[in-house]
């Protein structure tokens, strides 16, 4: 059993630690879509008080990884076609606006270039390990705007984005070389000041991942 109470953490530290470990298990597929998470089970599993377990669950409900209706146990959010489409289209709205602004200034974020270099260094073929550098590339586009509120808005859907991306890569639907090539085209358009082209390349890039995942969910 993973026990957090003997680490000298304050209440907030314990809640954050439990939240982080639960998030990792959900995103890693250890806790499956639709699986319930009760306060009692979380309390016992991590060796923490029930209020801390409840607070951790509420944080994951707020981030969109868990859902809970009135008087019901929280469950891991289900990834269905409607959810995928809403998540990816929300990303497109936010990220395309970011790319347009960056293109107007011809500003290519160094963090995006670095994340894409990691993708290029990976071997051929689909690999779930691409999720982290892929997501860092896209987050770098938002962070390059240096807007606290835009960043906060983007991060409010980040867990759902990561869950969808993990589903895409867990099903081995995309490969690192293809992802990196599309990213490179976007950055080239930004460097050239071609904001319409950059936005369209992003739309096509995200739509491709969206459709592949929706199709795979349909087969399931």
What is the domain-level CATH number for residue 123?
A: 1.20.120.530
**Residue 77 in contact with residue 83, Cβ under 8 Å?**
yes
57 and 129 belong to one structural domain: no
64 and 93 belong to one structural domain: no
Q: Which residue has the higher pLDDT, 167 or 89?
A: 89
Q: What is the pLDDT of residue 6?
A: 40
Quick count: other Cβ atoms within 10 Å of Cβ 84?
23
Q: What is the pLDDT of residue 62?
A: 86
How many separate domains does the chain show?
2
Q: What is the pLDDT of residue 171?
A: 58
**Boundary of a domain, candidates 59, 76, 93:** 76
Q: What is the pLDDT of residues 167-212, one digit of tens each?
A: 665 555 568 888 999 999 999 999 999 999 999 999 999 998 888 8
**Average pLDDT of the chain to the nearest whole number:** 86
Ordered DSSP codes for the chain: ----GGG---HHHHHHHHHHHHHHHHHTTSS-TT-EE-HHHHHHHHT--HHHHHHHHHHHHHHTSEE--TTS-EEEPP--HHHHHHHHHHHHHHHHHHHHHHHHHT---HHHHHHHHHHHHSPSSB-GGGHHHHHHHHHHHHHTT--HHHHHHHHTTHHHHHHHHHHHHHTT-SBHHHHHHHHHHHHHHHHTT-HHHHHHHHHHHHHHHHHHHHHHHHH-
Q: What is the pLDDT of residue 156?
A: 83
Does residue 68 surpass a pLDDT of 90? no
What is the domain-level CATH number for residue 11?
A: 1.10.10.10
40 and 25 belong to one structural domain: yes
Name the percent of the chain lying above pLDDT 70.
87
Q: Which residue has the higher pLDDT, 157 or 105?
A: 105
Q: What is the pLDDT of residue 43?
A: 92
> Which residue, 206, 204, 183, is CA-closest to 109?
183
Phi, psi of 124 (to 5 degrees): -70, 155
Name the percent of the chain lying above pLDDT 90.
48
Task: Give the range of the structural domain holding residue 30, as residue numbers without chain letter.
Answer: 5-76
**Residue 124 in contact with residue 175, Cβ under 8 Å?**
yes
117 and 89 belong to one structural domain: yes
Q: What is the pLDDT of residue 1?
A: 46
Q: Which residue has the higher pLDDT, 68 or 192?
A: 192
**Boundary of a domain, candidates 20, 54, 76:** 76
**Boundary of a domain, candidates 40, 58, 76:** 76
53-76 average pLDDT score: 86
> Which residue, 83, 116, 52, 95, is CA-closest to 201?
95
175 and 212 belong to one structural domain: yes
């Amino acid at each position: 059993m993973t026990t957090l109470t003997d680490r000298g953490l304050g209440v907030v530290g314990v809640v954050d630690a439990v939240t982080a470990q639960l998030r990792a298990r959900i995103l890693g597929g250890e806790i499956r879509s639709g699986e319930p998470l009760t306060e009692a089970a979380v309390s016992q599993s991590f060796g923490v008080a029930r209020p801390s377990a409840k607070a951790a669950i509420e944080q994951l409900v707020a981030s969109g990884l868990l859902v809970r209706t009135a008087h019901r146990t929280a469950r891991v959010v289900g990834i269905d076609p409607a959810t995928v489409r809403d998540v990816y289209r929300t990303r497109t709205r936010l990220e395309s606006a970011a790319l347009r602004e960056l293109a107007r200034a011809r500003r290519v974020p160094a963090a995006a270039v670095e994340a894409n270099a990691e993708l290029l260094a990976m071997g051929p073929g689909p690999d779930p390990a691409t999720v982290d550098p892929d997501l860092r590339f896209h987050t770098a586009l938002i962070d390059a705007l240096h807007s606290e509120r835009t960043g906060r808005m983007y991060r409010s859907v980040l867990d759902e984005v990561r869950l969808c991306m993990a589903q895409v890569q867990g099903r081995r639907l995309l490969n690192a070389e293809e992802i990196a090539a599309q990213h490179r085209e976007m950055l080239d358009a930004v460097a050239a000041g071609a904001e319409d082209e950059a936005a369209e390349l992003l739309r096509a890039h995200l739509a491709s991942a969206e459709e592949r995942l929706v199709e795979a969910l349909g087969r399931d």
